[in-house]
Amino acid sequence: MGWIRRIGSAVAAGVLVASAGGPAHAIVGGLETEVNEYPFMVALVRTNTQDHEAAWCGGSLITARHILTAAHCVAGMGAGELRVRVGEHDLDSPGETGATAEYDIEKIMVHEQFNRRQYANDIAVLELKKKVAISASVGLIRGAEHPTQPNTVVRAMGWGTTQFWGQESAVLMSADLGVVAIEQCAKQLPDVSIPTGDQARQMCTYAQNRATCHYDDGGPVISLALINGRLRATLEGIISSGVGCGGSKPEVHTMVSAYKSWIASKTGPSEAPADAGWVNRR
């Protein structure tokens, strides 16, 4: 996560604002996903470290050559410092899915108005050197067209730590979270600049004892719809920042629908089919 979480400040006390229903599918406090359950999920891995199997950040495959992630994950980095890994599940078992592959990055495009201090405009597009091979295990996801409504249950995922400054997860984990009204979120986080109303460009989530954590940043926050007996995901947000992991404060994510035009300016017209985002459940 970002601002306060990365520098390790203590979690401030506050009022609980929402609680997502249903079972805990969690990064902090939950369950492992199925193998290649979310074909659009990617890991960003460092090329200049011995800990190559750890995920630096997450991301979402939005075209065969473009990854959507958080700006703070990649700002100031060269394209050669990271690779994009698709089709992954267990970072400690290379090739266990049969779909795992790594791709080199051609260009890193950080939002021109990204503010590292406040994590405003925390969004970036990575352009790959070659197209990703699309399959049932590796696929695209489309971004949301409209803001996510409060009290909606969304799902976040990543290979991040399972507790505050704890051990990173080797396997992909997910968490169900409730969307918090942006005005309420701004009141809960007075030290963070969170535009509201028509200026809102972020979304907030909260669930008691469930949250994203370190190194989940950049990964997807999705909504799920059941269509003809099958789940389809829509990309609602990008994991951005928070106070601790699983405390009493809401987390803040970049709202994808607010950046539709900016994303299109970097990727060109979306090539994701209208039914992109299918989830693989066995």
Question: What percent of the chain has a predicted confidence (pLDDT) above 70?
Answer: 87
Give this prediction's pTM: 0.89
Residue 247 has a pLDDT of 80
User: Pick from 214, 250, 218: which is nearest to 7 by CA?
Assistant: 214
Strand pairing category for 101-110 and 82-86? antiparallel
Strand pairing category for 66-69 and 31-32? unpaired
Strand pairing category for 31-32 and 41-46? unpaired
- Would the pLDDT of 68 be above 90? yes
Residue 50 has a pLDDT of 61
Q: How confident is the model at residue 15 (pLDDT cuts 50, 70, 90)?
A: very low
Residue 11 has a pLDDT of 27
Residue 95 has a pLDDT of 75
CA distance 185 to 204: 6
Residue 8 has a pLDDT of 31
Residue 170 has a pLDDT of 87
Which of 26 and 192 is assigned the larger pLDDT? 192
Question: What percent of the chain has a predicted confidence (pLDDT) above 90?
Answer: 66
Provide mean pLDDT across the span 117-144.
Answer: 96
- Would the pLDDT of 92 be above 60? yes
Q: Which of 106-120, 152-166, 225-239 has the lowest mean pLDDT?
A: 152-166
Provide mean pLDDT across the span 39-60.
Answer: 85
DSSP the chain: --HHHHTTPPPPP--------S----SBSSEEPPTTSSTTEEEEEESSSS-TTS-SEEEEEEETTEEEE-HHHHTT--GGGEEEEES-SBTTSTTTTS--EEEEEEEEEE-TT-BTTTTBT--EEEEESS-----SSS---PBPSSPPPTT-EEEEEES-BSSTT-PBPSB-EEEEEEEEPHHHHHHH-TTS----GGG--EEEEEBTTBB--TT-TT-EEEEEEEETTEEEEEEEEEEEE-STTTSSS-EEEEEGGGGHHHHHHHH-S--S-TT--B----
Token pair 């049969």 in the structure block, residue: 98
pLDDT digits (tens, 9 = 90+) for 250-275: 999 999 999 999 999 999 987 778 77
Residue 269 has a pLDDT of 80
Residue 161 has a pLDDT of 82
CA distance 225 to 82: 33
Chain mean pLDDT for the chain? 86
Q: Which of 6-20, 62-76, 130-144, 207-221 has the lowest mean pLDDT?
A: 6-20
Q: How confident is the model at residue 21 (pLDDT cuts 50, 70, 90)?
A: very low
Give the dihedral of Cα atoms 197, 203, 206, 210; nearest 10 deg: 180
